[in-house]
Amino acid sequence: MESYTVCQLQREMRYEGFLLIRSAEKRKDSKGSDYVDMNLTDRTGEINCKIWNWDPEAAAPEAGQPIKVRGTVQEYNGRLQLRVEKWRLAAEGDPVDMNALVPCAPRKPEEMMQEIEDTLESFENEELKVLTIGMLDLAGERLKWFPAAQRMHHAERSGLLHHTTDMLHLAKGLLEIYPWLNRDLLLAGVIIHDLGKIEEMKADRTGNVTDYTRDGQLLGHLVRGITNLNRVAEEKGVTGESLVLLEHMLLSHHGESEFGSPKPPMFAEAEALHWIDIMDARMNTMKTATDKTPAGAFSEKIFSLDRRVYHPEMNS
């Protein structure tokens, strides 16, 4: 059976493939039997399906998971619907192409995690190593799929890892040009600077942010990152200057009070972290805007840049 994207589906087509459960709700049909009403999506669109005769004891499947479905496309009240014949939740080892379902980072999360761990291996400063590992442990599995933002930059599955590892590359380039910087301090700052976002936003495994958390709104990821770091330090018994330096790097990485940092960066590694962060965010935003704009034309106004973006003809 050929493979289609959702936007290619037409009446009477046969379909088999992996889609994402965007929402799923258990309901009762006119005879009182349970069924599940689901909206399934890939990056191109959304289609509804019903699964009849649902086990009254079983809950509806959780949103945010890939599902394998087979069936026929039908039209009902002018809208397409998938009549499902067979389905199961995707299992480990299934050939699910997540990038076809939602925007994903260009590299695999496992590969990016490995890169962070290799970087940690090379640390010479034990305190910084211990604190950074502790922060990664607190973040746990969620780091694998967490996005870096709801909309701004790296709003994609594993976007937080994408942003972090690109920043690691930038930082390593900087360390060659400015060898007087403290290597471990800068790299530790890069790795932990946005981990607080995991408690600031609610995101599912597809990298989709549905809302901000209570703590995210009342404190923000900078301050929650700092209290987490203190918890790690207390647990691990770290009391040296490295702790307050990392606290300051977390607090100051937005650069100015206007952007949420009550203190500006006050030593070189904090300053470097701030610029690396903004540079990677901006390059990501610029790429997204340029990709959507034909060569020789200007984009609409990009909200986070407060300007229109030009796609040079020369580059194409």
Retrieve residue 235's tokens. 């647990």
Determine contact, residues 208/102, Cβ cutoff 8 Å: yes
CB 225 to a copy of itself: min, Å: 11
CB 238 to a copy of itself: min, Å: 12
CB 212 to a copy of itself: min, Å: 8
Identify which of residues 206 and 261 has a Cβ nearer to a copy of itself in the complex: 261
Determine contact, residues 116/136, Cβ cutoff 8 Å: yes
CB 150 to a copy of itself: min, Å: 15
Residue 3, class by beta-carbon neighbours within 10 Å (0-12 exposed, 13-18 middle, 19+ buried)? exposed
Q: How many whole angstroms separate alpha carbon 227 and alpha carbon 161?
A: 21
Residue of 41, 32, 49, 33 lying closest to 87 (CA atoms) = 49
Identify which of residues 124 and 141 has a Cβ nearer to a copy of itself in the complex: 124
CB 183 to a copy of itself: min, Å: 10
Q: At how many degrees (to 10) do helices 183-192 and 126-139 cross?
A: 10
Half-sphere exposure for 73 (CA within 13 Å, toward CB): 20
Mapped onto helix, strand or coil, the DSSP state of residue 180 is coil
CB 154 to a copy of itself: min, Å: 13
| DSSP symbol at 126 | H
Query: Measured at the alpha carbon of residue 216, what is the angle toward residues 276 and 104, in degrees to the nearest 5?
Result: 55
Identify which of residues 42 and 199 has a Cβ nearer to a copy of itself in the complex: 199
Q: For residue 36, list its beta bridge partners.
A: 26, 51
CB 292 to a copy of itself: min, Å: 13
Identify which of residues 59 and 297 has a Cβ nearer to a copy of itself in the complex: 297
Identify which of residues 19 and 201 has a Cβ nearer to a copy of itself in the complex: 201
Chain residues binding a copy of itself by CB under 8 A are: 125, 166, 169-170, 173-174, 176-178, 180, 182, 185, 214-215, 217-220, 222-223, 226-227, 230-231, 234, 240-242, 244-245, 247-248, 251, 257-258, 260-264, 266-269, 271-272, 275, 278-279, 282-283, 286-287, 290, 296, 298, 305-315
Identify which of residues 65 and 290 has a Cβ nearer to a copy of itself in the complex: 290
Sequence-distant (≥ 6) Cβ neighbours of residue 68 within 8 angstroms: 16, 17, 18, 87, 88, 89, 90, 94
Identify which of residues 50 and 108 has a Cβ nearer to a copy of itself in the complex: 108
**C-alpha of 80 from chain center:** 30
